[in-house]
Amino acid sequence: MLKTTKLLLAAAATSALMAGSAWAEGLISIIITDPANPYWLTEGNVAEATAKSLGYEANVAAHKGDTNVESTLIDTAITNKSVAIILDPANADGSIGAVKKAVDAGIPVFLVNAEINQEGLAKAQLVSNNAQGAALGAEAWVAAMGEKGSYVELFGNPADNNAATRSNGYTTVIGQYPDLVQAGKEVGNWDRTQGYQKMQSLLQANPDVTGVISGNDEMALGAIAALKEAGKLAGVKVGGFDGSPDAVAAVAAGEMEYTVLQPVAVFAAEAVKQADNFIKTGATGAATEKQLFDCALITKDNVGKYSAPFTLSE
């Protein structure tokens, strides 16, 4: 009798485990930076669609780089009894408290696109391989410049580690070419309008620049607008980073030399899948918390393979 009971219990446990592997319900809260930027819009859309395809409810909100808003959105996710949070953190240091608050409430957090400066809180941190992408872009930019000239750099948000990683990657490559001289560098905070304004200022101080290397596409597109307005675009090589639809169009039109594609559509979906794994099994299925996804270069030669926002077909 005891043996039979054990067998029945084992069978029931196996059945429950099998049922659990297919079960999914509850709310996944997705918090991005700003949907006005096509990069973050895609990030939110892909994460939401993936969550819904796995059987969850999902909603998307944006903190717009404000850690106070981010903290309030985390509170809302906790109040709504979210089963997981997908977060693009507002600040490498300033977002640690918000993540900890969610973790203390028993909600697993999965970070996308940007890191926080503390490991062991989030279940996963999924980001582009920014150092690899920066080297890829800088090498293409150096070739376009003919290894010489005066240039300026547009730097992203200083609170985002990605900005420094990309800038350092540019410097490592460009520093090997003594005939490439940096005439100026400005912070554009990932924003197109700021890129335009900062490029105007840089042009006033350095009217003979022949190159612009940018931390992202939005700032690069702002710079292109300023260069067009000044009648100087034809003589200036502009490089971007993100792989946004507008940047790809600029590459196709010959206004931008290249853009470095961040695989945001890939890791936004992967973050939700890892959240699903964790909810069901207690493990993400990934070998490490921090995970890097390699970038790809988009030039005039392969621009036709851009098949969807932030997606390059084989």
Token digits of residue 257: 């030399």
* Residue 237 bridge partners (DSSP): 211
SS3 148: coil
Q: What is the pLDDT of residues 196-227, one digit of tens each?
A: 999 999 999 999 999 999 999 999 999 999 99
Q: What is the pLDDT of residues 92-109, one digit of tens each?
A: 999 999 999 999 999 999
262 DSSP 8-state letter: P
Token digits of residue 194: 């700021």
Q: Detail the DSSP E strand segments found in the chain.
A: 27-32, 57-62, 84-87, 109-112, 124-128, 149-155, 180-187, 211-214, 237-242, 258-261, 290-293, 296-298, 306-308, 311-312
| Cβ-Cβ contacts under 8 Å for 23 (sequence gap 6 or more) | 55, 280
Sheet holding 84-87, edge to edge: 57-62, 27-32, 84-87, 109-112, 124-128, 290-293
Q: What is the pLDDT of residues 230-245, one digit of tens each?
A: 999 999 999 999 999 9
Q: What is the mean pLDDT of residues 2-30?
A: 51
Phi–psi pair at 148, nearest 5 degrees: -155, 160
Token digits of residue 104: 């203390």
Q: How far is CA 255 from CA 77, 160, 259, 289, in A?
A: 42, 27, 11, 39
Average pLDDT, the chain: 93
pLDDT of residue 23: 63
